A and B are shown apart, each in its own frame.
Chain A
Amino acid sequence: MIISSLLSLCFALPMAQQSESISLSVDRLHVGNGEIIENALVVLEDGKIVSIVPGGSAAGAIHFEGAELSPGLVDAFSFMGVGGASMEESRESTPSIHLADTVALDAPSFANALSEGVTSAYLSPDSFNVIGGLGTVVKTGGGVGANLFADAGSAARIIDREGALKVTLGNDASNGNFTPRGGSTRDFKARRPNTRMGTVWVVRREFYRAKAYQAALADGEKVYDKDLEVLVKVLEGEIPLRVQARRSHDVQTALRLQAEFGWPNLIIEEATEGQEAAAELAAAGVSVATGPAYDAVSRAIARGPQASELKFLAHPPAICCEDIHEVEGLHSGHEDNGLVELSGPALDFLVALAPRYGAASGLNGGRFSEGRSATPALPALLFEAGVSLAMGSAEAHDQTLTEASLIHQARNAVRWGMPAAEALQAITSRAAALCGTADHVGKVEVGFDADVVLWSGDPLDSSSRPLLVILDGRIAVDNRPQQ
């Protein structure tokens, strides 16, 4: 409860003014590359990290007993601000559509993510088309929003319009399509593909067209096709290709297509059953951006929502937390850890009203049906097999689901066997590498962007929370206790 009200406070305050210089004296510094420095003085100036002095301290530096500093978290795969406006379904292949043109930079998801320590993110086009368009890389704050009533600097800021090209294998791209025999031919949803084979056929068709186009360009022919221009950039490795593949055979299909077309820069998204294709992924040297891993997904489907899964209702967006005490039958037994114990009629009431686990967690039918052997141990298993991975929140930050937020996924990964240093890299430097921003984001290093999070303790300890989130040298979230 205390945590929640602190969070709400930080939303209510205007963004802090541009500060010339911030000095942080921290007990431990997580550099973001696995390295840890005990006792360090970190100085931020004009949006950059200007000095790191091991063992240093300075008068006037911000210091909290036991506080640890990490790089601002990097969300390797998310749908923040991505809505129907960004998905053009009148064709199944739309490679040149830029998500950057239509993403909602004012969306509240960015503030949610920022409050959980996420300072930059890759935003993915949605998965309704086979070739869905170009994703974009953003900082989660500091942008100029259009909302007249929002605080200055609260909108996300685009830093790369062409972060990667999205391809979707599996169910999503054919969901909702029907054959002309089954429906009106006047509706453009009477389109192909209807099957996994059809989906792959579209990918092949487009990339063979791109290869022909590439050859024509090499022969000096004067041709221009904006869609094929993008695919050629993918073939040449200039734009990374992200393939959403959840079932293990979808992952294998992606790797087979890579062998066929020689995609130099392939990233697998979600890889929900990726542990079953871990050896192939490692052999191909292909990186994975995982989606949120949930405990025992299949169990949730079988038995519906359980009280333990209703945590999100007891831990709702901060703004309503004060009122919870007023509901009869709800009482807080653990005010210090921010959770509310449910019992009696209130619990019955909530269970009756509660959406299915899937809906509550932002999981769609597709991810359930495509994650039959999903396991929370996926990150650990991929790591053990030698696959380089980063983590993404997918829709988690849209719904203030703190248990699915990026930092919690890293914590879960550790709980299920991933070494802590690896888990932290998967949400910082490795994620930045997948976003194409590894030269200035994802590490606490001199010359890097001043995106840092000061945690109340070890960032991967579930009782730790962000005391300060600093984005481009500005204090974006301030949860410091009154001193």
Chain B
Amino acid sequence: MILFSTLLLTSLLAPLPQQDAVILQPDAIVAADGSLQEGMSVVVKEGRIVEVAAEPTTAGTTVRLSGVLAPGMIDAFSGHGADRLLTEQSLKTTPDLRAVDGLQLSSPIWESLMARGVTAVHITPDATNVVAGWGALVSTAGKERVIEAKTRMIGSLVQSAINDDRVGPSSLAGAVEILEATFANAAAKEYRNNMWFFVESAESARAMENLTSDLKDSNNHAILMGEVGSFGGAFAGQLVGLPTMSYGALARRAATWELMHKAGVRFAFGTRAGNREWDSLRTSAMALSRFTGSATAAWASVTSNPAEMLGMESEVGSLKVGARADLVLWTGHPLDSTATVTAVFMDGTTAYRATSEEN
């Protein structure tokens, strides 16, 4: 039945990609709060969501889907698909470096990610320079793979950036000095309000706060590395990046995530420096759900939160009208451990379809 539906969808969409809307009727959709809503249709036209309603008014071809339809997951910060390292260490700062230029878009990894429900990956330069370069948001399939070539400037206050014997800096203090000088430069106007800083200690967290506190309209965010329990309290009420779950110190991690959730911290999971298994975004969200008891927070951590951190919440990470129709059909709720991906729709067509063996 599932196979039949997806085949049907492909055959219907192929001749009519530009003209007609397609009304997708799954058993349920995953709403923004992570709950399942039955009886809802998602109307897609020209690769965008044009309507989400129980009884859509847009005319089009109706396709019945067996399963749960969800927005694709987003890897908030990742090194997937990088052809060698995404860094240039002959300089202290490399604001002109773009991660998109180091990507291997023909790699088989993208299909593997799709098979796990990931439709967009935010590729970031290695955090080895205090100003490391531009990240890029890339879709795992589709005609135009690069959704945004210059997303956020990556800054780094972690050891790999601040302890450089060849060109400096040799310390966090030196990194702060370089960043202050960089921010004072007119060329930094383009990014100083749109930076993500890798931090790994209370001191680097405070340094970031001092650096960014007098910036107006700042969209700066932190990515928390290392022993987060020792400094996570500095980000109460904020939206932060967090490496996907690895399996050391599990009890401490559970307590850390729970305390952060209680302090109003919202997460966006990324696979860089975390667990890079293709399924790790989903398993991290499942763990977060279990540690915090909040499926809403967990689902947001792999969809709307990374989109918000990127300032692209109208484009990706939700079933909002106007957003890219990067949709994943699951056999059940995506955070249910027995659910698997049936198909991925992108650019108004079926970008990936699980074979019956995989199911």
Contacts and interface: CB of A to CB of B under 8 A. Distances in A.
Contact of B229 (A84, A90, A147, A186): A147
B206 A146 contact: yes
A102 interface: yes
A84 B173 CA distance: 9
Interface stretch (B30-38, B147-155, B162-170, B272-280): B162-170
Contacts of B165: 187-189
28 contacts: A85-B201, A86-B172, A87-B170, A87-B173, A88-B169, A88-B174, A89-B171, A89-B174, A94-B173, A94-B174, A94-B177, A96-B177, A101-B173, A101-B206, A101-B207, A102-B173, A104-B203, A105-B206, A106-B202, A106-B231, A146-B202, A148-B230, A148-B256, A149-B229, A187-B165, A187-B166, A188-B168, A188-B170
Interface string A158-200: 0000000000000000000000000000111100000000000
A306 B281 CA distance: 58
A144 B173 CA distance: 21
A103 B171 contact: no
B323 interface: no
B229 A148 contact: yes
Interface in A228-249: none
Contacts of A144: 233
Contacts of B260: 148
Nearest to A87: B171
Given A85-B201, A105-B202, 15 more contacts: A87-B170, A87-B171, A88-B177, A94-B177, A98-B173, A101-B207, A104-B202, A146-B232, A147-B202, A147-B233, A148-B233, A149-B255, A150-B233, A187-B166, A188-B168
A146 B205 contact: yes
Give chain A's interface secondary structure class: loop
Q: Which 3 A-B pairs have the closest CB atoms?
A: A90-B168, A88-B174, A146-B234
A104 B256 CA distance: 20
A187 B172 CA distance: 18
A219 B207 CA distance: 35
Contacts of A91: 168
Interface of A: 84-91, 94, 96-99, 101-106, 133, 144-150, 186-189, 226
A104 B231 CA distance: 11
Contacts of B204: 85
A102 B177 contact: no
Interface of B: 162, 165-174, 176-177, 180, 201-207, 210, 228-234, 255-256, 259-260, 263
Nearest to A144: B233
A104 B201 CA distance: 9
A106 to B, nearest CB: 5
A8 B223 CA distance: 35
Contacts of B228: 148
A207 B174 CA distance: 21
A74 B234 CA distance: 28
A102 B255 CA distance: 27
Contacts of A146: 202, 205-206, 230-234
A148 B229 CA distance: 5
A289 B263 CA distance: 42
B230 A147 contact: yes
Given A102-B173, A148-B233, A88 B202 contact: no
Contact of A97 (B167, B173, B201, B229): B173
Nearest to B258: A148
Contacts of A187: 165-166
A388 B242 CA distance: 52
Contacts of B170: 87-90, 188
A97 B177 contact: yes
A140 to B, nearest CB: 16
Contacts of A98: 173
Contacts of A105: 202, 206
A102 B172 contact: yes
B160 to A, nearest CB: 14
Contacts of A226: 180
B202 A85 contact: no
B216 to A, nearest CB: 21
Contacts of B180: 226
B230 to A, nearest CB: 5
Nearest to A103: B203
Contact of A106 (B166, B167, B169, B230): B230
B129 to A, nearest CB: 14
B200 to A, nearest CB: 11
Contacts of B203: 85, 101-104
Interface centre among B174, B205, B255 (most CB of A within 10 A): B174
Given A102-B176, A147-B231, A188-B165, A84 B202 contact: no
B267 to A, nearest CB: 14
A186 B165 CA distance: 8
Contacts of B169: 88, 90
A101 B176 CA distance: 8
Contacts of B166: 186-188
Contact of B176 (A89, A97, A145, A189): A97
A226 B255 CA distance: 43
Contacts of B173: 85-88, 94, 97-99, 101-102, 133
Nearest to A85: B172
A89 B175 CA distance: 11
Nearest to A161: B210
A145 B233 contact: yes
B171 A85 contact: yes
Nearest to A158: B206
A90 B256 CA distance: 36
A103 B205 CA distance: 11
A90 B202 CA distance: 23
A99 B174 CA distance: 11
Nearest to B208: A101
Contacts of B174: 88-90, 94, 97
Interface centre among B168, B233, B255 (most CB of A within 10 A): B233
B146 to A, nearest CB: 36
B253 to A, nearest CB: 11
A102 B165 CA distance: 19
A248 B344 CA distance: 77
A344 B202 CA distance: 45
A148 B232 contact: yes
Nearest to A186: B166
A396 to B, nearest CB: 22
Contacts of A189: 165
Nearest to B205: A146
